[in-house]
């Protein structure tokens, strides 16, 4: 990739310089009552959850959910100065809006909490996030070059990647889930039992959907189906931000793909550090199939 962006620190979190440049407007975003926020650490199943939520809201109507690319249907707050829909379009969207962010719990714009907005948080196990993020960062122009993988593992452990520490992100939302209106979902559970997890999402959003609709939504949001859906697979995303000429956004969608990347030595270092960083939480993950 020709040009490479840099990270800087905002409120203790590493973030792309071009996002940091607009931080005040991002943090001061005015949420409205009824807005729904889908929040994740990057590469944790955001897009998957976005498609699920849109289908839930529209009673499983796949035609309506193909009205526009996913990043237009549910704008990404932090990129609102870098692509359309921008801040102006987001502010003009009718309520209730569904928005995407990767901000950690302490940096979610205060207006979301003030209006008691519903937040759906998706977390994915660290090693698969790291693996997915490494591949993704090779095609994201606003982030530094992730190579080599051995350095990326160390950067990830230190939180020296965009949106900061995975450990603090997943733990932060876990600790505060009962303080706010937060539904905490695990990627691995969604993979294992999609219908059950989609039922939770529907209930949280106040929708009572019959089993056949839940089943339909589960089928429409399976990785292989979403990968071929041009309105859900990110193919139309601006090339300046994510260059998919050689690699695609919808990569593998698996649990346990980290095994293709970690050497035995990297695994040992990572696991020892993981134990330490996750020693103060009741949150646990499965990273096996």
Instruction: Figure out which of the listed residues 168, 175, 257, 287 binds ligand PPS, where binding follows CB under 6 A.
Output: 257
Least gap, CB of 102 to ligand PPS (angstroms): 6
Residue nearest to ligand PPS (CB): 253
Q: Which residues between 129 and 188 bind ligand PPS (CB under 6 A)? A: 132, 135
Q: Is 143 a catalytic residue?
A: no
Residue 221 near ligand PPS by CB under 6 A: yes
Judged by CB under 6 A, which of 5, 15, 29, 42 binds ligand PPS?
Answer: 42
For ligand PPS, the binding residue among 220, 252, 273, 283 (CB under 6 A) is 252
Nearest distance, CB of residue 57 and ligand PPS, angstroms: 17
Q: Which is nearer to ligand PPS, 50 or 266 (CB)?
A: 50
- Only one of the segments 16-24, 107-115, 251-259, 272-280 lies at the binding site for ligand PPS (rule: CB under 6 A); that segment is 251-259
Q: Least CB distance from residue 33 to ligand PPS, whole Å?
A: 26
Is residue 251 close enough to count as binding ligand PPS by CB under 6 A?
Answer: yes
One-character DSSP codes across the chain: ------EEEETTEEEEHHHHTTHHHHHT----TT-EEEEESTTSSHHHHHHHHHHHHTTT-TTGGGSS-HHHHS-BGGGTTTSSS-HHHHHHSPSSPEEEE---GGGS-HHHHHTT-EEEEEE--HHHHHHHHHHHHTTBTTS----SHHHHHHHHHHT-STT--HHHHHHHHHHHTTTTTEEEEEHHHHHH-HHHHHHHHHHHTT----HHHHHHHHHHTSHHHHHT-TTTS-TTS-TTTB--SSS-SS----SSGGGGT--HHHHHHHHHHHHHHTTT---------
Give the active site residues. Answer: 102
Which residues contribute to the site for ligand PPS (CB under 6 A)?
40, 42-48, 128, 132, 135, 221, 223, 226, 250-253, 257
């Amino acid at each position: 990739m020709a040009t490479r962006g840099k990270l800087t620190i905002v409120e203790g979190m590493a973030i792309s310089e071009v996002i940091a440049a607009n931080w005040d407007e991002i943090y001061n975003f005015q949420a409205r009552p009824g807005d729904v926020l889908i929040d994740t650490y990057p590469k944790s199943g955001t897009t998957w959850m976005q498609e699920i939520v849109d289908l839930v809201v529209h009673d499983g109507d796949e035609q309506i959910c193909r009205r526009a690319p996913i990043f237009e249907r549910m704008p990404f707050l932090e990129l609102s100065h870098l692509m359309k829909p921008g801040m102006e379009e987001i502010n003009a969207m009718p309520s209730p809006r569904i928005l995407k962010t990767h901000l950690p719990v302490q940096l979610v714009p205060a207006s979301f909490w003030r209006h008691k907005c519903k937040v759906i948080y998706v977390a994915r196990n660290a090693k698969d996030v790291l693996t997915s993020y490494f591949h993704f960062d090779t095609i994201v122009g606003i982030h530094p070059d992730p190579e080599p993988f051995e350095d990326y593992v160390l950067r990830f452990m230190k939180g020296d990647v965009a949106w900061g520490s995975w450990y603090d992100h997943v733990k932060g939302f876990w600790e505060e889930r009962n303080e706010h209106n937060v539904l905490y979902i695990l990627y691995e559970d969604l993979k294992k039992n999609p219908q059950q997890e989609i039922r939770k999402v529907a209930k949280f959003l106040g929708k009572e959907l019959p089993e056949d609709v839940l089943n339909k939504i589960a089928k429409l949001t399976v990785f292989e189906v979403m990968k071929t859906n041009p309105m859900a697979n990110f193919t139309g995303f601006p090339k300046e931000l994510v260059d998919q000429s050689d690699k695609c956004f919808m990569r593998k969608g698996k649990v346990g793909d980290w095994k293709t990347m970690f050497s035995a030595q990297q695994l040992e270092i990572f696991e020892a550090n993981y134990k330490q960083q996750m020693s103060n939480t009741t949150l646990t993950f499965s990273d096996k199939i």
